[in-house]
Structure 1
Amino acid sequence: MVVQTTNNYNASSGELWPLLFNSKMDDKKPCYLLCGLPKPLECRLPDKQGGVGSTRECVSDKGTIQQRITEWVPGHKLSFQLVKTDLYFGPCVESIIEQFVITDNNQGGCQITRTTTFKAKGPLSLVVAIPMFIGLKAIHRYVFSNWKRLSH
């Protein structure tokens, strides 16, 4: 299943790029309707380097996700895939692949498009996929709203 979200910013790609791998979130909840949804706290590069093959780590109030960077084009594109997680949904997920693309918008700033492709596993994969889609969309929006605040 694919979840895609785009947001516009009054910021340059150089200002936005570091947010994709080095940002902390505010105290707001991602979605009040979805009890139990992990609240992102920060994304970081444990080795402080970045680049293809490096680890990107996202920390939430319920656990951590470690991702391997598969594409690193500074100021333009970041792609990565799930390596491991201790979040409760981990056993239900076969794969999660994510991509951020930064492009100029025609308003003097840039836009970021985030695409998450995930595959649930097991006999109830469709039942799992629907709440995951809703939860991922809420997290996309939450992170983008935080980045809007951080990019000013």
Structure 2
Amino acid sequence: MLKQQIQDDMKTAMKAGDKVRLGVIRLILAAVKQREVDERIELDDAQVLVVLDKMLKQRRDSITQYAAARREDLADVERFEVTVIQHYLPTALTEAELTALLDAAIASTGATAMNDMGKVMAILRPQVQGRADMGAVSTLIKQRLAS
């Protein structure tokens, strides 16, 4: 399980004395644990990916804001956190793979207009979660359905 791998990596970082990496891994585990406590469930790999994806989006937003404020020191910290989080995510989809999945989802739902976007997202989300930026996927769907 992904959660077990993260816990094992925490132990490795502790033994290696890698305090910066350890801090990021602890943030990840805290976010996972928080969701488990809130929902009173044990998260599976797909749900852990959702948590990681959300954390990644938060870090990217922070990087943008720090860069705009010319706080590169803080942006660099966030960039490091992004690299650690991405280590646990599956390999990112290429543009061709994403386009193929999008085409298949649109074809299987018979989507023709913007009001069908929810159907397409419902099919795509499990396939691309953690492998593509959901905001970019949403934009692609909107472009396809608008034309």
TM-score (norm 2): 0.30
Structure with the larger RCO, 1 or 2 (CA within 8 Å, 6+ apart): 1
- The structure with the largest strand share of the pair is 1
TM-score (norm 1): 0.29
- The structure with the largest helix share of the pair is 2
Give the number of the structure whose alpha-carbon radius of gyration is greater. 2
